[in-house]
Amino acid sequence: MKTARDEDELAETVAAACGPLAICGGATRGVDLPGEVLSTGGLRGVALYEPGALTLVVAAGTPVAEIETLLAAQNQQLAFEPMDHRPLLGTTGEPTIGGVVAANLSGPRRIQAGACRDFLLGVRYVDGGGTVIKNGGRVMKNVTGYDLVKLMAGSWGTLGVLTQVSLKVLPRPETQATLRLSGCDMKQAVRAMSAALGSPFEVTAAAFDPGVGEVLVRIEGFADSVSYRGGRLGELLGAFGGAAALVQAAESAAIWQRIRDVAPFAHQPGDVWRLSVRPSDAPAIAQRLNAEALLLDWGGGLIWARVPEGTDLRARAGQFDGHATLVRADAATRARLGMFHPQSPLLEKISAGLRARFDPRGIFNTGLMSSLQTQDA
Amino acid sequence: MEMPAPDARILARKSRVVERLQQVLPHNAVIHELSETRAYECDALTAYRCAPMVAVLPANTQEVSEVLRICHQEGVPVVPRGSGTSLAGGALPTADCVILGVARMNAVLQTDYDNRIIRVQAGRTNLSVTGAVQAEDFFYAPDPSSQLACAIAGNIAMNSGGAHCLKYGVTTNNLLGVTMVMMDGSVVEIGGAHLDAGGLDLLGLICGSEGQLGVVTEATLRILRKPEGARPVLMGFDDTEVAGACVSDIIRAGVLPVAIEFMDRLCIRTSDTFANAGYPDCEALLIVEVEGSEAEIDAQLARIIEIARRHNPVELRESKSPEESAKIWLGRKSAFGAIGQINDYMCLDGTIPVSELPLVLRRIGELGREYGLDVGNVFHAGDGNMHPLILFDANKSGDLEKCEALGAEILKLCVDVGGCLTGEHGVGIEKRDLMWHQFSRPDLEAQMAVKDVFDPAWLLNPAKVFPLEASQPRRQAAVAAQ
């Protein structure tokens, strides 16, 4: 394994590499890739944190936990609520902010606050030739040149090795509450979540656990506001049948950590898939999956499915608007089915073109993102 | 502002190009007489004008595809145009180009309240997107000042913002999918009604690419339910630095207003005289707006006012009614028009870290005195997006050049304090040659490499965004290859 102490050393390492490199943050996602491991773990530390400007600039290898502690001390947070994969995948290691950004990890609050990529203000990265590139910056509004910041978010290290990221942070709400609506089937649940999300009450998360038939709707903010909105939402959702109960503060937070980390699937057998869909399509798609267990987040727009090992879930899902990612499976299944959803030939061509420009030698994370390359891995 | 000389070989092919375009478009959609192409000679950066060789007005994706295929085969540069409201010259033609106007593509294709999306043709104006859903109490959040006229296509090209983006984000945060035509005429679908498009984030890449990667013909946008209500508070301060500190304290207190607007003395006085808004006589004015139910608004405004009091405001005026809200916003909303009444002006758009506000305002004042030009400041303080307005006299020889030189100094200052050249207007031609100040050569090479992938012949809006010197080898190679 190669590590670098700083950006310059990392750039030299990349320039001198003569074979594939497997870029690694905290190694919590259990993806094995060919080539020598290049760790960003040595790039740590906060370069700048201005609570009054809601801005954080941090080295890519900095642990997420360290950042969350730092922000919490100022009553702020990473509003996109990144998932911790360790419970689901049974991995160890320490999630890093670079890893979060590289996978564009966004939790339940994505439906209201935005995804990781929406909070990413700037990046520094090392390209495939070992050159340091910067894009974006540390300010909230920036349209100067092309937005490579978004491109780097969710590129899984295939276009460059992130060395530094700038993030917009947000105030941590004073309190939260969750409305639990029991006795729903999936169709009712998605309708109820759509009604909640289409209300003026600023719902910050909406999930459905079919195992217990329970819709969960979160509201956050100042205490008086949460109490008011909780009441109004209770009236609104009463129309969908079932009994509604309001759960406060810490108990509410625990619910959403479980949803964020897909905890119901931890220690349960089988492969785990993640599907991004049009929310109203979710019930029909979910039915076709014939899964052992399901969990819906994002008002139905995100389906987590647990299926027997080796199941080709994309074949079961058939044609739909969206995509399915294989999150937990053994290496053979990953190689056979591919982690990422195949794209249209034209999109594949554009993506391959970008990859060839950013990493002309094709050394970064070979076997990730492109469906063709995944087959070879 | 220099533009590349028109290619004589292209001009010589004009009649053939026109003929081919007429074969795929209705006759009135191909404009080629000089008397008519003049209508497309500039956008809202009116200091620069050049009539295009041809202008076309396709009505759908298929027609756009045909136009681009022909232009690609003929090696003719194409400049896409939304509604022509760009302040950066993003839609400025060259004499050898085809202007591709999207104005005829303005239909609503689908509204879906359950999934909170709307699908529109990209020529639809920003405000009419909200217009299509407001009966159901929904709205489209990005609200650039030109929203009555500007098109979604241009919003996507420039990644437009607005006064309310502190809470709701800019175009890129509200765009879920596009249909886009590539320069060779092929059509690509990206994203859709789901929240995260698969694969690399090409949607994020296209948004803000200033019409250089493809022509967006349809877009899927997020729509949101309107809040129950909204009301502002107006505060006046004797010191711009104190106003800046107040902004920072409000943000730190955990209140997230939907807008925080700032005006300096010159803008306060000019717009007050113009609109009779009853603004106080002071150095700096803040308008802070919050949303929610009546009780929630009261509670948030109370918190904000409590913070403001610690900074000894000369005036605190909390709106209690729609009429009072309108009066508070009146002066701010008419600021640009008010200044336009008394002077020619150039509107800049740099963004700075909010903490640098006092320093930057002081330096702008000093620079203005050095150049002998007045500068007013009105901007979105919550996110540091400045809009310095440099007053000049277009009829006075040398004044425009002096104004541009001062503008460049101010934008460099924004970069030097950790900000950027443009927060929401785009680079266009206006800031093209200042890009060296913000980016290294490898930084710019990485961006230009993206264009190489989408538009290898560099035919789409080629002379924008990048310093001409930087893009020249690529533009030259593309011409030589024809």
Cβ separation of A142 and B192 shorter than 8 Å? no
CB B129 within 8 A of CB B155: no
Q: Which residues of A touch B189 (CB under 8 A)?
A: 344
Cβ separation of B449 and A146 shorter than 8 Å? no
Enumerate the domain spans of chain A.
2-171+352-376, 175-260, 263-337
Query: Which DSSP symbol is given to B385?
Result: B
Q: What is the ipTM of this complex?
A: 0.96
Nearest to A143 among B182, B200, B422 (CB): B422
Does the pLDDT of residue B482 top 80, yes or no?
no
**Confidence band of B16 (pLDDT split at 50, 70, 90):** very high
Mean pLDDT of chain B: 95
Q: Is A351 helix (H, G, I), strand (E, B) or coil?
A: helix
What count of Cα atoms within 13 Å lies in the side-chain half-sphere of residue A187?
2
A14, A80, A144: best to mutate for the B interface, most B CBs within 10 A:
A144
Measured in angstroms, the CA of B207 and the nearest CA of chain A are apart by 8
Q: Which residues of B touch A173 (CB under 8 A)?
A: 254
Beta bridge partners of A178: A218, A247
CB B150 within 8 A of CB B366: no
What is the length of chain A? Answer: 377
Same fold, A175-260 and A263-337: yes
Q: Which of A39, A254, A236, A8 is nearest to A131 (CA)?
A: A8
Profile chain A (377 residues) by mean pLDDT over runs of 10 residues: 95 97 91 92 97 96 98 97 97 96 98 97 98 97 97 97 98 97 94 98 97 96 96 92 87 98 97 98 98 98 98 98 97 94 96 97 90 41
Does the pLDDT of residue B138 top 70, yes or no?
yes
Say yes or no: domain A263-337 is CATH 2.10.240.
Answer: no
B87, B114, B433: best to mutate for the A interface, most A CBs within 10 A:
B114
Q: Given this model, what pLDDT does residue A371 score? A: 52
pLDDT tens digits, one per residue of A220-279: 999 999 999 999 999 999 888 777 899 999 999 999 999 999 999 999 999 999 999 999
Q: Which residues of A touch B227 (CB under 8 A)?
A: 200, 202
Cβ separation of A171 and B418 shorter than 8 Å? no
Q: Which of A236, A219, A249, A169 is nearest to B296 (CA)?
A: A219
Cβ separation of B353 and A134 shorter than 8 Å? no
B115, B156, B251: best to mutate for the A interface, most A CBs within 10 A:
B115
Which residue of chain B is at minimal alpha-carbon distance from A110?
A: B195
CB of A373 less than 8 A from some CB of B: no
pLDDT tens digits, one per residue of B143-160: 998 999 999 999 999 999
Nearest to A321 among B193, B418, B442 (CB): B193
Cβ separation of A134 and B440 shorter than 8 Å? yes
CATH fold for domain A175-260: Alpha-Beta Plaits (3.30.70)
Q: Given this model, what pLDDT does residue A281 score? A: 98
Query: Which residue's entry shows tokens 């890519």?
Result: A60
- What part of A 105-124 touches B (C-beta under 8 Å)? 106, 110-111, 114-115, 117-118
pLDDT tens digits, one per residue of B194-237: 999 899 999 999 999 999 999 999 999 999 999 999 999 999 99
The fraction of chain B above a pLDDT of 70, given in percent, is 100
Cα separation of A314 and A326, whole Å?
A: 10
Q: Is B201 helix (H, G, I), strand (E, B) or coil?
A: coil
CATH fold for domain A2-171+352-376: 3.30.465
Q: Which domains does chain B have, with CATH numbers?
A: 108-225 (3.30.465.10), 230-336 (3.30.70.2190), 343-436 (3.30.70.2740)
Cβ separation of A354 and B453 shorter than 8 Å? yes
Region of A35 (left: φ > 0; alpha: ψ -120 to 50; beta: rest) is left
Cα separation of B156 and B177, whole Å?
A: 11
Cα separation of A197 and A285, whole Å?
A: 21
Which residue of chain B is at minimal alpha-carbon distance from A108?
A: B195
Q: Count other Cβ atoms within 10 Å, centred on residue B104.
A: 17
Measured in angstroms, the CA of B99 and the nearest CA of chain A are apart by 22
Measured in angstroms, the CA of A254 and the nearest CA of chain B are apart by 22
Q: Where are the alpha helices (DSSP H) in chain A?
A: 7-16, 64-72, 86-89, 97-102, 110-113, 116-119, 148-152, 186-197, 223-238, 249-260, 282-289, 313-317, 331-337, 345-358, 371-376
Does the pLDDT of residue B392 top 90, yes or no?
yes
Q: Which of A377, A355, A372, A348 is nearest to A160 (CA)?
A: A355
- Cα→Cα distances A257→A87, A107, A298, B23, Å: 11, 9, 14, 60
Q: Given this model, what pLDDT does residue A376 score? A: 36
Nearest to A357 among B202, B249, B449 (CB): B449
Q: Which residues of A touch B449 (CB under 8 A)?
A: 357-358
Gyration radius from chain B CA atoms: 23
